[in-house]
Amino acid sequence: GNSVTQMEGPVTLSEEAFLTINCTYTATGYPSLFWYVQYPGEGLQLLLKATKADDKGSNKGFEATYRKETTSFHLEKGSVQVSDSAVYFCAVARRDDKIIFGKGTRLHILP
Amino acid sequence: EAGVVQSPRYKIIEKKQPVAFWCNPISGHNTLYWYLQNLGQGPELLIRYENEEAVDDSQLPKDRFSAERLKGVDSTLKIQPAELGDSAVYLCASLRGSTDTQYFGPGTRLTVL
């Protein structure tokens, strides 16, 4: 079945630092890939997605590229802010199958 | 448009008591999911509905958990009786038609004492 492995946290960075959160997946066929973000006390919010190889999803300064050759979907941001502190989940899904989440990476941004 | 609505947001009960959670999906979303999220983990699927039909309930512990979506819109998830290990966040999500993006509600945080 499908699975997702993402880097363990917590990740602690200073404001304006460069962020990378690694995510690799295993899946059959051609799934879509997602990053969700969960702020304290809230549900998951879709941050970005990519539906096919070489697609780049982007939102709020975050980016991730669907790399089929390395089965990866790493999340990046050039300059993080304190407000980016949250838990980030990588996920894989096909329309006719359930979504599989990674365990999440907690991000702390220090002012 | 309004997002996925869940209630209550928080629930504290004693073990062996029953509890129910309610979800109202985004209007027009025919697929509805219930997930369990333990602390420090990603959500795990409990049950998926296509309209009023449960199409995947393989992960639902049917000895104590039940769910329904009678008119293909709102859904209720019930636990009876609750156990200490059921303490978690219960998330509801919905999806429209042939798309692949699920939208999540804020969740219900259950604490079983």
Question: Model confidence over B25-60: pLDDT tens digits?
Answer: 999 999 999 999 998 888 999 999 999 999 999 999
Query: Maximum Cα–Cα distance for chain A, whole Å?
Result: 43
pLDDT given for residue A42 in this prediction: 82
Beta bridge pairs of residue B108: B90
3-state secondary structure of A51: coil
pLDDT given for residue B82 in this prediction: 96
The contacts of residue A105 (CB under 8 Å, 6+ apart) are A6, A7, A8, A9, A10, A11, A21, A87, A88, A89
pLDDT given for residue A96 in this prediction: 65
Q: Give me the mean pLDDT over the B58-82 stretch.
A: 94
Give the pLDDT means over successive 10-residue stretches in chain A (111 positions). Answer: 89 97 91 93 90 95 96 97 96 81 95 93
Whether the CB of A68 is below 8 Å from some CB of chain B: the reply is: no
Whether the CB of B22 is below 8 Å from some CB of chain A: the reply is: no
- What gap in Å lies between CA B112 and CA B15, rounded to an integer? 6
Q: Do B98 and A95 touch (CB under 8 A)?
A: yes
Q: With b meaning 16 or more CB within 10 Å and e meaning fewer, what string describes B51-63?
A: eeeeeebeebeee
Say how many CB pairs under 8 Å bridge A and B.
Answer: 51
Whether the CB of B99 is below 8 Å from some CB of chain A: the reply is: yes
Question: Model confidence over B14-34: pLDDT tens digits?
Answer: 999 999 999 999 999 999 999
CB burial of residue A29 (10 Å; 0-12, 13-18, 19+): exposed
Contact between residue B36 and residue B86 where contact means Cβ atoms under 8 Å apart: no
pLDDT given for residue B78 in this prediction: 97
Nearest chain A CA: its distance from B35 CA (Å): 10
- What gap in Å lies between CA A86 and CA A99, rounded to an integer? 20
Q: What are residue B80's phi and psi, to 5 degrees?
A: -155, 115
Q: Which of A42, A45, A103 sits opposite B42 (nearest CB)?
A: A103
pLDDT given for residue A51 in this prediction: 92
Residues in chain B, overall count: 113
pLDDT given for residue A30 in this prediction: 83
The contacts of residue B61 (CB under 8 Å, 6+ apart) are none
pLDDT given for residue B1 in this prediction: 66
Beta bridge pairs of residue A73: none
- What gap in Å lies between CA B87 and CA B85, rounded to an integer? 5
Is it the case that residue B98 has pLDDT exceeding 80?
no
Can you tell me which residue has the tokens 């989940």? Answer: A89
